[in-house]
Structure 1
Amino acid sequence: MKVASHAADLFRHVSADKAAFYRCIMDVFAAAKRQYRLQLRPDDVLGEAEWPGPPPPLEEVNAALAQLTAWGNLESHPDMARVSSLDDYYRARFLYRLSQGGESVESALVTFVRTLQRRAELQTVALEDIANRLQALRTLAQDATEPDAAKVHETLRDLVRVFEGLAENAQAFMAGVARSIELQQAEATVVASYKRRLIDYLERFIGDLVRRSDTIARLIVALEPAIDTMLAQVAEREARDAAPGNAQGEAGAQQLYRQSWQERWKGLRGWFLSTGHEPPQAELLRARARSAIPQLLSAIATINERRSGRSDRSSDFRMLAQWFADCESDGDAHRLARAAFALHPARHFSLNADADIDLPASTSWADAPPLRIHPRLREYGEAAPRGPLPRVRDRSKERADLAQELAEQAQQLEAARRSLATGRPVKLSDLGKLDVHAFEVLLGLLGETLGEQSRPDDAVARQTGDGLLHVRLEPLGAESRAEIATPRGVFAGRDHVITVTPVREAR
């Protein structure tokens, strides 16, 4: 198994040419992880994946699984459960499961999607929860000489969780207010409705923030004399679960936990109390929420100006297009173009350096052939990147040869399967001479089927590992003999009656 050389290889399947195909496979393994299934076979992946079209061949799934293993998203192990013959032992069969890096990538992608789909909100309920948790801490600090460490730990964890959610959602909401206003500027009725809902929402949050910020600030100040002792108790309690092998020992772990809790408390304190010359974050949030209302009113004023007849750039271009349409001659159109855009009929911009057509400067733009402008010129203002161009090796011929070779092999194997999978019983002695591909297919069928026999005289039927064919094998008399001629020699043994049927027809 090849180990990914870099962590970036774990994300290569997202941007690869067959990214959708790879994601279908990884979704199956992510679902199996949630269902506590340890490993999957390729035919399990083929049957459980939600393919956008018809199911692909099993060979293509095997190739994708091997590539994901090479990138490090999956781990492969030999599948010894289905080995029933020496031929199966030497055949490459693997079980696959998510690697540690693959699990991390799936978790990161799930978090990424949730973050994109999340609608941030201003949590007025969180302010009430923060005040209640601080009041509980104050009660614990006053009721006993030494507060209960377990209750303090539980209350602090709830406090930090609620506070982090409040801070994160508030930051995301205020960052998205301006974008939401810009998106709503297209239609006056939509902006007016959004204005009313947003102003009511902001006024309700600002009023609750002003009312509760003072209570929260007084509770924080009241907890200042006892908070260091409480944080030390919580850090000591967490340090009991520190993993062994740490060079610093339990004392070092306790110091790290205590520093972490002190940083969290400092962040909570800075939200509601001023630190030095900086105002509290709650006041900054309040100011940012207030500034959203003038932005919204400005958007409404812009719409009213448009509706009152004042021109903007889009209306200017529409009027200019009408003027061009009203021009009586090309000369008038050219003069209008020069007046509007300061353009001249000279073709000296050298946009096509390798052009074979040399036109005089007096040639009209309308009469000249069109210019092919590279998209980079529109995006970056220059036609070519700076520095020497990288040398690109053309591998189209090698790719075409490889694709042709693979297609020929697939056609030959499929033709061999069709020649054997007739659905009719036939003796091995009646098969006659087989080519290399048909003989390989027959050997594979015999190897999978004979491995299921408990006794040599028993008839056996089974489905092949790839799930495509159904094989029934009935042995004839012990004295019977069958010989099959192949380009590599003669295959001989006890005669059997074999019936090979495609799975769809067997069903």
Structure 2
Amino acid sequence: MDGEFTPFSYLTAPNERLYRAVMDAFVQAKRRFVVHLRPEDVRTSMRHAAELPAITDALGRLVEWGNLRADPDTSRVTSVEDFHRSRFLYQLTVRGEAVEQAVAAYDEALGRRGALQAVALTDIATQLRALGELSRAAEPDAAKVHLLLRGLVDRFTDLAGNAQAFMSSLQRTIDLHDADADVFREYKDRLIDYLERFIKDLVSTGAEIAALVGELERRDVGALLDVAAWREAEDAAPGASEESDPRREEFERGRRLWQERWLGFRAWFVSEAHHPSQAKLLRAQARAAIPQLLQVVAVLNERRSGRSDRSADFRALAQWFADAPTEDDLHRLWQGSFGLSGARHLSTSDATADAVPAQTPWADAPPLVISPRLRRTGSYERRGKPSRVVDRSEQRAYLADLARRESAEATAAREALATSHPTRLSDLGELDPVAFRAFLGLLGDALAARVPGRRVVETTTSDGTMAIRLTALEDGRSAEVRTPDGAFRGPDHLVEIVDLLAADVVERSA
């Protein structure tokens, strides 16, 4: 078993840099479709970074580990002495190439910065629209379906991986505490602009992708996935047994794989009842990063203004105590640092509460008897009757009255907004501040629940007190809702608002 991993040995060998440079020369040669290399060719590819004997020894070690294969080089033999001299042509082995691919993937993962790819969202939407056109055909072109699904998987994989890497690097940036304030502020401005643009694209394009996914599922996306699985199974090699069809087995395996891919893709853009989509979580994480970046800038500004944290203050104070020359200096430093100059620093009984003036030095004050209970448990209980319970009835009455007034204002706002029939926004008239705040909340919930391509949206508030039905109009008119603080203007809509609490009361009375 250990022999299977010996090709990795050169990564921890003493001359690791030389071995990696030699292997990199063979990887570059393979990209140029060059199979064999001589030691001189390796040295030329390395641009004479090492002497030829050292390169030859490194090639021998790599052959022992299984990274390279050595074949006798007889092409330049002109004499018997040349024939008996060791000359070899070297080429990558299967294990050696696999190790280089693993090392390259490791280096790429560590150095990956990641990005929020708004262009990838547009590409995904384009590919989904093309799949939608193919799904309408009675017999869709298998090659086109397979290519579109492969492109969709590749683009989505890049999008998800880059987004994860970007958010991880963003969190490391937020946790950075030693950056220069001016540099970080400039970087913060560019980053916040970048996040805002991506969030805007994710809201618009993500909603379109979710709608396209729903449309494909209504047209049986499973049939398109089966087409891709069958096309991949066409190249299955014949098996040893004539009873089993390798294409059928490969199709079943590919079918399960494509279904898993589609479910993962769907979960990224479509939210379920109790499981928000990954796109929604990414949008929330990106939004939360903006105030965190601003907080980092505030911390950097505080540091630059000369403020220090409490631990640094205590360390400096401890150093001052250690360097104090005399005991009197220690007392003055203690008094200047903590101000504990009074003798009445602990609770005393009523009889002795005012017995010692506050200006009395500790050394001149009479001793204070401390209860053993305080020394043992850290708490002190006075003897006698317990303290009188504070009467909070006035405060409770005030809170109850405040709650009644707020409930009355909310009820009046619902009654003012409720409509008996569909009404234009321009016909709502003037609203008081409380009703206007409730109206803005309703309007925001309705606009957030709107799906692209649909003119009508219905939703309820989070507390379940009101329902709204909003219908977009195509006449291009504008609406104006007046308030004591000003006017609210926007495109006119047809709105129907229902007070669910009032409707519930009517149903129960009936």
User: TM-score under structure 2 normalisation?
Assistant: 0.59
Asked if residue 172 in structure 1 is aligned to residue 169 in structure 2, the reply is no
Asked if residue 9 in structure 1 is aligned to residue 6 in structure 2, the reply is yes
Aligned to 1:108: 102
Q: Is the 8 A contact 1:270 1:280 kept in 2?
A: yes
Give the CA deviation at 1:145.
1.8
The 5 Å alignment of 1:30-69 reads 30-52=27-49, 55-58=50-53, 60-69=54-63
Aligned to 1:453: none
Read off the aligned partner of 1:33 and give its amino acid letter. Answer: K
Q: What CA distance in whole angstroms lies between the structure 1 residues aligned with 2:279 and 2:240?
A: 40
Aligned to 1:183: 176
Q: Deviations over 1:159-192 (max 9, x none)?
A: 1111111111111111111111233652221222
Q: Deviations over 1:434-475 (max 9, x none)?
A: xxxxxxxxxxxxxxxxxxxxxxxxxxxxxxxxxxxxxxxxxx
Read off the aligned partner of 1:126 and give its amino acid letter. Answer: A
Q: Is the 8 A contact 2:113 2:169 kept in 1?
A: no
Give the CA deviation at 1:67.
0.8
Q: Deviations over 1:25-73 (max 9, x none)?
A: 2222222212222212233333442344xx4252x33322111011111
Aligned to 1:264: 261
Read off the aligned partner of 1:264 and give its amino acid letter. Answer: R
Give the CA deviation at 1:315.
4.2
Q: What CA distance in whole angstroms lies between the structure 2 residues aligned with 1:242 and 1:332?
A: 90
Q: Deviations over 1:332-354 (max 9, x none)?
A: 99xx9xxxxxxxxxxxxxxxxxx
Q: Deviations over 1:183-226 (max 9, x none)?
A: 36522212222222222111111111111222111111111132
Q: Is the 8 A contact 1:24 1:50 kept in 2?
A: no
Q: Deviations over 1:227-246 (max 9, x none)?
A: 11111111111111123337
Q: Is the 8 A contact 1:24 1:51 kept in 2?
A: no
Q: Is the 8 A contact 1:14 1:23 kept in 2?
A: yes
Asked if residue 241 in structure 1 is aligned to residue 235 in structure 2, the reply is yes
Asked if residue 222 in structure 1 is aligned to residue 219 in structure 2, the reply is no
Give the CA deviation at 1:321.
8.3
Q: What CA distance in whole angstroms lies between the structure 2 residues aligned with 1:203 and 1:265?
A: 29
Q: What CA distance in whole angstroms lies between the structure 1 residues aligned with 2:119 and 2:276?
A: 23
Asked if residue 286 in structure 1 is aligned to residue 283 in structure 2, the reply is yes
SS at 2:176 equivalent: helix
Read off the aligned partner of 1:179 and give its amino acid letter. Answer: R
Give the CA deviation at 1:313.
6.2
Aligned to 2:138: 145
The alpha-carbon distance between structure 1 residues 57 and 306, as it changes in their structure 2 partners (threshold 3 A), is closer
Asked if residue 304 in structure 1 is aligned to residue 301 in structure 2, the reply is yes
The alpha-carbon distance between structure 1 residues 321 and 87, as it changes in their structure 2 partners (threshold 3 A), is farther
Aligned to 2:501: none
Read off the aligned partner of 2:228 and give its amino acid letter. Answer: V
Give the CA deviation at 1:323.
2.7
Q: Is the 8 A contact 1:10 1:71 kept in 2?
A: yes
SS at 1:146 equivalent: coil
Q: What CA distance in whole angstroms lies between the structure 1 residues aligned with 2:72 and 2:327?
A: 77
Read off the aligned partner of 2:238 and give its amino acid letter. Answer: P
Aligned to 1:127: 121
The alpha-carbon distance between structure 1 residues 195 and 37, as it changes in their structure 2 partners (threshold 3 A), is closer
Q: Deviations over 1:460-493 (max 9, x none)?
A: xxxxxxxxxxxxxxxxxxxxxxxxxxxxxxxxxx
The alpha-carbon distance between structure 1 residues 277 and 201, as it changes in their structure 2 partners (threshold 3 A), is same
290, 293, 313: which one pairs with 1:316?
A: 313
Identity of aligned residues (%): 50
The alpha-carbon distance between structure 1 residues 289 and 44, as it changes in their structure 2 partners (threshold 3 A), is same
The alpha-carbon distance between structure 1 residues 89 and 195, as it changes in their structure 2 partners (threshold 3 A), is closer
Read off the aligned partner of 1:295 and give its amino acid letter. Answer: Q
198, 209, 217: which one pairs with 2:202?
A: 209
Aligned to 1:454: none
Q: Is the 8 A contact 1:185 1:299 kept in 2?
A: no
The 5 Å alignment of 1:78-477 reads 78-142=72-136, 144-183=137-176, 185-224=178-217, 225-245=219-239, 248=244, 249-275=246-272, 277-312=274-309, 315-316=312-313, 319-320=316-317, 323=320, 327-328=324-325
Q: Deviations over 1:117-140 (max 9, x none)?
A: 333110111111111111111111
Give the CA deviation at 1:87.
4.3
Read off the aligned partner of 2:34 and give its amino acid letter. Answer: R
Q: Is the 8 A contact 1:178 1:295 kept in 2?
A: no
Q: Deviations over 1:338-386 (max 9, x none)?
A: xxxxxxxxxxxxxxxxxxxxxxxxxxxxxxxxxxxxxxxxxxxxxxxxx
Give the CA deviation at 1:22.
1.3
Task: Provide the aligned length of Structure 1 versus Structure 2.
Answer: 327
Give the CA deviation at 1:149.
1.6
Read off the aligned partner of 2:196 and give its amino acid letter. Answer: E
SS at 1:17 equivalent: coil
Q: Is the 8 A contact 2:40 2:52 kept in 1?
A: no
Read off the aligned partner of 1:26 and give its amino acid letter. Answer: M
Q: What CA distance in whole angstroms lies between the structure 2 residues aligned with 1:329 and 1:69?
A: 74
Q: Is the 8 A contact 1:242 1:250 kept in 2?
A: yes
The alpha-carbon distance between structure 1 residues 188 and 47, as it changes in their structure 2 partners (threshold 3 A), is closer
Q: Is the 8 A contact 1:39 1:96 kept in 2?
A: yes
Read off the aligned partner of 2:166 and give its amino acid letter. Answer: F
Give the CA deviation at 1:275.
4.4
